[in-house]
Amino acid sequence: PAHIARPPPRLHVQNLVTKLRKEGAALQRVSAMMSSSSSSTSSNDAPPESRDNVNDTPMEDASATAAASSPPKPTPPPKQPPTSKYQAFPTYYFDPGQYNSPTVSIYVPLEGIGQHDKSKITCQFTPSSFDLVVSDFEGKSYRLVNDNLEKDIEPSKSKYVVKPNKIIIKLGKVKGEYSYDHWTQLTAKKAKRKDAVGKREKDDPAAGIMDLMRDMYEEGDDNMKKMIGETMYKQRTGQLDKMDPMAGMGGMGDFGGI
């Protein structure tokens, strides 16, 4: 019989050791895979609260870090007040008051003006004028100015009052020897010259009489117009006293010889 060649004992032991090592490595890999699967299952089985806490913590930290690192937002510049031209108030009313009252009044209606910034409502007074200004009210600016009042006023006794829906201007009357000036209208019919401080200059007596004669001529009958016409002609030609232009109108009763 043929003899079977057997490996020597030393080689046999080495082959056995190599085989055991390979099997041990395979067992370690299987054990690692099982451990990983078990860990994943435990994580999925955890209660919702635990998973939320685990997930929320890093997100909150990330948000806080992002907020801390982001630059602050720039503050927008303040809005500039609108620049608009003045326009007239919708309407106003004049009240001359009683015969001997110390003031006359101007009523200026404006809905809701009482809620407006008081620093944007002003009224300036001079002996012959007032100037009311309302700025930036509901996108508009208003002005009421009169520098040709019928009579002079007392600025120190004049004022304005802001009501919920209107402005009232009180003009202080000038007091004469016996009573206050009597007003019939707000604005004088004719513009008058003023001195440096705003007071109207005293009227020329002769000019005032001539104005009166013109008014009488326009409103009188034919005889009145003829008489006044002759007197005015004599006045222009120097036949009458310049300070007494009605001296030649003796036919006018009490007006003659003024």
pLDDT tens for 89-98 read: 999 999 998 8
* CB-CB neighbours of 47 under 10 Å: 8
pLDDT tens for 23-41 read: 777 777 777 777 776 665 5
Contacts of 162 (CB under 8 A, 6+ apart): 113, 114, 116, 118, 121
Residue 166 Cα to chain centre, angstroms: 17
Percent of the chain with pLDDT over 70: 58
Q: What integer best gives the mean pLDDT of the chain?
A: 75
DSSP string, 216-242: HHHHS-HHHHHHHHHHHHHHHTT-S-T
d(CA 64, CA 67): 5
